A and B are shown apart, each in its own frame.
Chain A
Amino acid sequence: MPSPRPDLHSLVVTGIGVASGLGHGKDAFRAGLFEGRSVFAPLARPGRQRGDGSPPFFGVEMPDPPSILPPRVERTAGLSGRAAVAVLDEAWREAGLDHVMPERIGLIVGGSNLMAREQLLSLREYADRLDFLPPRHGHVFLDTDICGLCASQFPIRGFAHTIGAASASGAAAIVEAVEAVRSGRVDACIALGALQDVSLMDLQGFRALGALGAGPVCRPMDTGHDGFLYGEACAALVVTRSEHSAGTVYGRVLGTGFCTDGSRGPEPNSDAQVRAAQDALAAAGLVAADIDYVNGHATGTPSGDEAELATMRRLGLGHALVNATKSIIGHGLSAAGAVEAAALLIQMREGLLHPTLHLDAPLDEAFRWVRGAAQEHRIRHALKFSFGFGGTNVALVFGAPEGEAI
Chain B
Amino acid sequence: MDSDRIAEIIIAEIRSTVPELEAQPITRADSMADLGVDSIERSEIILATLEAIGVKVPMVQLHGPRNIGELADLLHAKSKA
User: B44, A75: Cβ atoms under 8 Å?
Assistant: no
Q: List the A residue with the shortest CB-CB distance to B16.
A: A75
The tally of CB-CB contacts under 8 A between chains A and B is: 26
Residues B1-56 near A (CB distance < 8 A): 17-20, 40, 43-44, 47-48, 50-51, 56
Q: List the A residue with the shortest CB-CB distance to B57.
A: A131
Interface of B, secondary structure class, is helix
Residue A265, interface by CB 8 Å: no
User: B20, A135: Cβ atoms under 8 Å?
Assistant: no
In-complex Cβ contact of B40 among A70, A132, A136 (8 A): A136
CB distance from A177 to the nearest CB of B (A): 31
Cα separation A135 to B18 with both chains bound (whole Å): 15
Q: List the A residue with the shortest CB-CB distance to B56.
A: A131
Cα separation A83 to B19 with both chains bound (whole Å): 21
Cα separation A129 to B50 with both chains bound (whole Å): 12
Residues A271-300 near B (CB distance < 8 A): none
Q: Known: A132-B51, A134-B47, A135-B47. Contact between A71 and B40, CB under 8 A?
A: no
Cα separation A14 to B48 with both chains bound (whole Å): 45
Interface size on B, residues (CB 8 A): 12
User: B43, A132: Cβ atoms under 8 Å?
Assistant: no
Q: Which residues of B contact A (CB under 8 A)?
A: 17-20, 40, 43-44, 47-48, 50-51, 56
User: A72, B19: Cβ atoms under 8 Å?
Assistant: yes
Residues A107-134 near B (CB distance < 8 A): 129, 131-134
Q: Could you pull out 10 A-B pairs where Cβ atoms are within 8 angstroms?
A: A72-B17, A72-B19, A129-B51, A131-B47, A131-B56, A132-B48, A132-B51, A134-B47, A134-B48, A136-B40
Ordered nearest first, which 5 A-B pairs have the shortest CB separation?
Answer: A71-B19, A132-B51, A135-B43, A134-B44, A72-B18
User: A70, B43: Cβ atoms under 8 Å?
Assistant: no
Q: List the B residue with the shortest CB-CB distance to A75.
A: B19
Chain B residues within an 8 Å CB radius of A131:
47, 56
Chain B residues within an 8 Å CB radius of A136:
40, 44
User: B20, A71: Cβ atoms under 8 Å?
Assistant: yes
Chain A residues within an 8 Å CB radius of B17:
72, 75
In-complex Cβ contact of A135 among B44, B50, B56 (8 A): B44
Q: Which residues of A contact B (CB under 8 A)?
A: 70-72, 75, 129, 131-136
Chain A residues within an 8 Å CB radius of B50:
132
Cα separation A129 to B54 with both chains bound (whole Å): 11
Cα separation A248 to B19 with both chains bound (whole Å): 37
Cα separation A71 to B40 with both chains bound (whole Å): 16
Cα separation A136 to B51 with both chains bound (whole Å): 16
Q: Known: A129-B51, A132-B48, A132-B50. Contact between A72 and B20, CB under 8 A?
A: yes
Cα separation A193 to B60 with both chains bound (whole Å): 40
Q: List the B residue with the shortest CB-CB distance to A74.
A: B19
User: B18, A132: Cβ atoms under 8 Å?
Assistant: no
Q: List the B residue with the shortest CB-CB distance to A134.
A: B44
Q: List the B residue with the shortest CB-CB distance to A138.
A: B40
Chain A residues within an 8 Å CB radius of B19:
71-72, 75
CB distance from A195 to the nearest CB of B (A): 24
Cα separation A107 to B73 with both chains bound (whole Å): 47
Chain A residues within an 8 Å CB radius of B48:
132, 134
User: A70, B44: Cβ atoms under 8 Å?
Assistant: no
Chain B residues within an 8 Å CB radius of A134:
44, 47-48
Cα separation A132 to B43 with both chains bound (whole Å): 10
In-complex Cβ contact of A70 among B20, B47, B51, B56 (8 A): B20
User: B51, A135: Cβ atoms under 8 Å?
Assistant: no
CB distance from A65 to the nearest CB of B (A): 17
Chain A residues within an 8 Å CB radius of B56:
131
Chain A residues within an 8 Å CB radius of B20:
70-72
Cα separation A72 to B37 with both chains bound (whole Å): 10
